[in-house]
Chains A and B, each alone.
Chain A
Amino acid sequence: MSERATGTAGNEPFLVVEDLKTHFTVPAGTVKAVDGVSLELRRGQTLGIVGESGSGKTVLSRSIMRLNIGGNVHTTGSVRYDGRELIGLKAKEMQSIWGLEMAMVFQDPMTSLNPVVKVGRQLTEHLRFHLNVSKSEARQTAIELLRSVKIPEPETRIDNYPHEMSGGMRQRVCIAIALACGPRVLFADEPTTALDVTVQHQILNLLATQQKERFMSMIMVTHDLGVVAGRADEIIVMYAGKVVEKAPTATLFAEMKHPYTEALLRSIPKIAQPKHSRLSAILGRPPDLINPPPGCSFAPRCPYAQQRCHEEKPVLSPGSTPGHQFACHFPVGTPEAREAFDRNLAAGLPVTLAAAGDSKVSDDDLVTSAGGA
């Protein structure tokens, strides 16, 4: 970690993750859900972790918080929080950090609130436990919290059960719960995926305002580059449990180097597109995390992939802009990449055809070509 990602001088990272690996033992073998991820977080900074389903982003955020529980979970590497190593701590020791120092907003507000417990208790129980506040004080704080996340009539809402609220309101409650003890880091794990589009925007803005007001750091996990585009200071793109590209947000969008990042960006539908144009999807599926391919994990779905990509794993290495790192043999935008793309196009590689705009190519072609190769 030689370079500093953001220009916030004098603001040393208080959360440093190094070579974090989380492997699950299952009957079929070992699933390498997170495989050697390093990152840093500074005060007030927002870090976006982007990747499609199964890329390991949720497991990564839970691993940093040490929330992956179970006998088959093996987490190695280092997570240093304020100089204190968290890997190896028992769940009991983590309890003084959970909720108080680090809090998480989960993906699905419909299932992450206890259906048989009133919102009020769910908002205040950790407050009372961590900060020893009295019952009436906690209730007052809870009402304030509900008000700050823009829930109307907080005095009556506090006595509601979760099922008496809408999805958006429940996610606001979840955010209020996470904010209750004033954590230094907020993990937001796809906080808007389960909500409809109009509510998504409100929730994201709410998170951003709260973060600024509280000078809190945030790790925002999402599959949608658009969600983090205007909100994150730095973005990490994950694929198959590894970081494939990492850059300050502006740099990433200006000069993305990894074909996967490019593909993710291309898969966001644009308003400017003509009506009824086919949505651009990334062909194929994420690789088997038990037996990942020997070379680059993305190679089977990459329009630029060459022989070398299938054999040799690219390592995460710095680019020309400070703070920009990527793991690719043929970075997007380079003459080599263009050459590789043209070669694949000439050879009729389905993924390349699809990337070039041929809408007739589908997943089936990929299967045939993989079988034929």
Chain B
Amino acid sequence: MLKILGQRLLRLLATLFAVTFLSFFMTSLLPGDPAVAILGEAGVQNEELLNQVREDLGLNDPLPVRYVNWLGNAVQGDLGESYINQGQSVSGTIVQRLPVTAQLAFMAIGLAVLFAVPIGVLGAYRQGRWQDSVSSAGVQVALAVPNFITGIFLIWLFAVKLQWLPASNWNRISDKGIVENLRTAILPATALALTQMAIFSRLVRSDMIATLQENYILSARAKGLKDRYVLFRHALRPSSLSLATIVGINFGALLGGTVIIETLFAIPGLGFRLINAISQRDILVIQGITVSVAVGYVLINTIVDLFYTVLDPRIRRS
């Protein structure tokens, strides 16, 4: 166990190194200049001022030097300050925004799994019958609809027509409590969940169809066990390995990729801030967010890897 964790830690460090270097390098390729963004239209004319700002930010140093400087500070826990919003520390931004996006991603994945498993199992159990056709058709639709369309529909239905839930904004648990928080979280989470649910249920269905061909399913049936018991207590676990993999990957993807939904619902999340930072060439903010998403990604996938051994005891040996 300790050995596994040690390996993971090493892998995390390697991943972080690669991720930060690449993002540093790639953001420097972006056209445009943070100094221009800071000074605005008026300052652009003043070459001396521009140069002064660049010098202050260290932008005149060559790229490797800038990266090493940043890395040296980051290792000590200092992710720097935003170029644009002077005085705003990057780590402060992350601490404020990561929980919002993480909660959104967690709820979306949770909802998706909750619905995907029964739908996938039903599709496999009734393969080729009407239940399978109906659920497959539903899944196709869910896959085809982009999540902002789902979001707009949900706002229209639950906020405008029924007026059950707020259309936008975000209530923090620390400010308003869990109920108010969930009232603002449920619609964006659902909008994100729908696509995920479609993907997951396809996976469960196809893995389940393969599992149902196994001899041990026939022997379970030959014991006179009820179909539902055979499906959920015998077939589901061996059919969940691909699901676990994709859940891990998609969770990581959602951490940095909920920007459209965050924008639509006016949620102060990480993705929202990231897009802002990119358009302003606010490199340190980009770096900080990238690092935190990468850490989250590696952590989630480590948990998934450990979860494999729960799903299949045969993995424990090797």
B-binding residues in A (CB < 8 A): 65, 67, 69, 71, 91-92, 94-100, 103-104, 106, 108, 111-117, 125-126, 129-130, 161, 163, 174, 177
| B residues at A contact (CB < 8 Å) | 128, 214-216, 218-227, 229, 233-234, 237-238, 311-314, 317
B214 engages A91 (CB within 8 Å): no
Cβ–Cβ < 8 Å partners of A174 in chain B: 219
How far, in whole Å, are A97 and B224 apart by their CA atoms in the complex? 7
Residue pairs across A and B with Cβ atoms less than 8 A apart, 25 shown, are A67-B218, A67-B221, A94-B224, A95-B224, A98-B222, A99-B222, A99-B224, A104-B219, A106-B218, A106-B219, A108-B215, A111-B214, A114-B234, A115-B216, A115-B238, A116-B237, A116-B312, A116-B313, A116-B314, A117-B233, A125-B223, A126-B223, A126-B224, A126-B225, A129-B226
**Which listed residue, A111, A130, A163, touches B216 by the CB 8 Å rule?**
A111
Write out the residue numbers on chain A whose beta carbons fall within 8 Å of the beta carbon of B221. Answer: 67, 69, 91, 98
**Chain A proximity of B38: nearest CB distance (Å):** 58
**Shortest Cβ distance from B127 into A: residue:** A71
Out of A97, A111, A117, which one reaches B215, CB within 8 Å?
Answer: A111
**B-side contacts of A95, CB under 8 Å:** 224-226
Pick from B222, B225, B311: contact of A125, CB under 8 Å:
B225
Per the bound structure, the CA–CA distance linking A335 and B312 in Å amounts to 64
Q: Say yes or no: A65 contacts B238, CB within 8 Å.
A: no
**Known contacts A71-B128, A114-B234, A116-B237; is-contact A104 B215 (Cβ 8 Å):** no
Q: How far in angstroms is the closest Cβ of chain B from A92?
A: 8
Q: Which has the most chain A C-beta neighbours within 10 Å: B218, B223, B237, B314?
A: B223
A163 touches B223 (CB 8 A): no
**Contact call A163/B225, Cβ cutoff below 8 A:** no
Q: How far is the CA of A20 from the CA of B227 in the complex (A)?
A: 26
* Residue of A91, A114, A129 ringed by the most chain B CB atoms within 10 A: A114
Given A71-B128, A108-B215: A115 and B222 interface contact (C-beta under 8 Å)? no
A98-B224, A116-B311, A125-B229 are known; give 4 further A-B pairs, CB within 8 A: A71-B128, A99-B224, A106-B218, A117-B237
Question: By the criterion CB–CB under 8 Å, are B234 and A117 in contact?
Answer: yes
A106 and B311 contact, Cβ closer than 8 Å, known pairs A115-B238, A130-B224: no
Cβ-defined partner of B223 (8 Å) among A69, A71, A103, A161: A103
B224: shortest Cβ distance to chain A, in Å? 4
| B234, A103: Cβ atoms closer than 8 Å | no
CA of A104 to CA of B317, assembled, Å = 31
Chain A: minimal CB distance from B123 (Å): 16
Asked whether, in the complex, the Cβ of A99 is within 8 Å of the Cβ of B216, the reply is no
Given known pairs A106-B218, A106-B219, the reply for A115 and B224 (CB within 8 Å) is no
Instruction: Give Cα A125 to B230, complex, Å.
Output: 11
A72 to chain B, nearest CB (A): 11
CB <8 Å contact, A177 and B128: no
A115 in contact with B314 given A71-B128, A106-B219 (CB within 8 Å): yes
Determine which of A91, A96, A114 lies in contact with B238 in the assembled complex, contact meaning CB atoms within 8 Å.
A114
* Distance to closest chain B CB from A293 (angstroms): 32
**Cβ-Cβ contact count across A and B, 8 Å cutoff:** 80
Rounded to whole Å, the gap between the CB of B306 and the closest CB of chain A is 16
Which 5 pairs between the two chains have the least Cβ-Cβ distance? A98-B224, A99-B224, A126-B223, A99-B223, A111-B215
Which residues from chain B contact A98 at a C-beta distance below 8 Å?
Answer: 221-224
In the bound assembly, the distance between CA atoms of A116 and B225 in angstroms comes to: 17
Distance A108 CA – B215 CA, assembled complex (angstroms): 8
Contact B218 A116 (CB under 8 A): no
Residue numbers in B under 8 Å from A116 (CB-CB): 237-238, 311-314
Chain A residues positioned under 8 Å from B218 (CB to CB): 67, 106, 112
Nearest CB on B from A98, distance (A): 4
Find out whether the CB atom of A177 lies under 8 angstroms from the CB atom of B313. no
User: CA–CA, A94 to B311, complex, Å?
Assistant: 31
In contact, A129 and B313 (Cβ under 8 angstroms): no
* Structural contact, B219 and A129, CB atoms closer than 8 A: no
Q: How far is the CA of A9 from the CA of B220 in the complex (A)?
A: 37
Complex Cα gap A253–B170 (Å) = 85
Nearest to B313 among chain A residues (CB) is: A161
CA distance A92 to B224 in the complex (A): 9
B314 contacts across to A, CB distance below 8 A:
115-116, 161, 163
A residues near B224, Cβ cutoff 8 Å: 94-100, 126, 129-130
- From known contacts A111-B216, A113-B219, A114-B216, infer whether A91 and B225 are also in contact, taking CB-CB under 8 Å: no
A103 and B222 form a contact (CB under 8 A): yes
Residue of A nearest to B310 (CB): A116
Complex interface: chain B residues within 8 A of A111 (CB):
214-216
Contacts of B225 in A (CB 8 A): 95, 99, 125-126, 129
Cβ contact within 8 Å between B237 and A112: no
Assembled-state Cα–Cα distance A161/B227 (Å): 23
Q: Counting chain B CB atoms within 10 Å of each CB, which of A95, A97, A174 scores highest?
A: A95
List of A residues within 8 angstroms of B219 by Cβ: 104, 106, 112-113, 174, 177
A109 to chain B, nearest CB (A): 9
Task: Tell me which residues across on chain A come within 8 A of B229, comparing CB atoms.
Answer: 125, 129
Which of A69, A97, A99, A108 has the most chain B CB atoms inside 10 A of its CB?
A99
Minimum Cβ distance to chain B for residue A97 (Å): 7
B216 touches A67 (CB 8 A): no
Report the minimal beta-carbon distance from A29 to chain B, rounded to whole angstroms. Answer: 20
- In the complex, what residue of chain B is closest to A125 when comparing beta carbons? B225
Cβ 8 A contact of A112, one of B216, B227, B312, B317? B216
A96→B226 CA distance, assembly (Å): 10
Bound-state Cα–Cα, A116 to B314, Å: 8
**A177 to chain B: closest CB distance in Å?**
7
A297 CB to nearest chain B CB (Å): 28
| A95 to B214 alpha-carbon distance, docked (Å) | 19
Task: Specify which chain B residues have a CB less than 8 angstroms from the CB of A112 in the assembled complex.
Answer: 215-216, 218-219
Residues of A within 8 A of B313 (CB): 115-116, 161, 163
Considering the chains assembled together, what is the distance between the CA atoms of A71 and B132 in angstroms?
15
Asked whether A91 and B227 contact (CB < 8 A) given A106-B218, A114-B216, A116-B238, the answer is yes
User: Which residue of A is nearest B218, CB measured?
Assistant: A67
Report the minimum CB–CB distance from A367 to chain B (whole Å).
Answer: 34
Most buried by A among B128, B225, B227: B225
Task: Give the chain B neighbours of A106 by CB distance below 8 A.
Answer: 215, 218-219, 222
